[in-house]
Amino acid sequence: MFKKTNSLYKEGKITGDQFRIINNELESFTNVCGACERIKNTPIPLSYNAFIKKFIILYTATLPIGYVFSIGYFVIAAVPFIFYVLASLELIGESIEEPFGTDSDDLPIDKIAQNIKKHCYEILLP
């Protein structure tokens, strides 16, 4: 992209002001791409995932012991609900760990790229 911008400037198709603006935007764009690449390539450690799962199971297994005297038989309904909430949070965490995939809940990368292309054409073609 930098080469293309430079060649457009040398050919006189864009002015110096347009070149500076495009160059700043390309620099910002490459910085954002680098940050996204770091997010994509940094997995959550396996020990963290294992610890969270063990904690949820241990916590919900011991929850009836702590609550049976204060809420009585209502603990039968409360414990599965609490387990459901905690397990759902864990699954949501695993789902958003990979935001650049092709699942329905991932970031719309294609739409973002189309918008960037549209805006670049708006800048380059007066």
Report whether 22 contacts 124 (CB < 8 A): yes
- 11-30 tens-digit pLDDT: 888 888 888 888 888 899 89
User: What confidence tens digit (pLDDT) does each residue in 77-91 have?
Assistant: 999 999 999 999 998
Residue 46 CA: distances (Å) to CA of 68, 70, 96, 106, 120 = 34, 37, 16, 22, 41
User: How many Å apart are CA 71 and CA 3, to the nearest integer?
Assistant: 69
Q: Which two tokens stand for residue 122?
A: 């708006």
Per-residue pLDDT of the chain (126 residues; tens, 9 = 90+): 888 888 888 888 888 888 888 888 889 989 988 888 888 787 777 888 889 999 999 999 999 988 888 888 898 999 999 999 999 999 888 877 777 777 777 888 888 889 988 888 887 776
User: Which runs of consecutive H residues, i.e. helices, occur in 72-108?
Assistant: 75-96
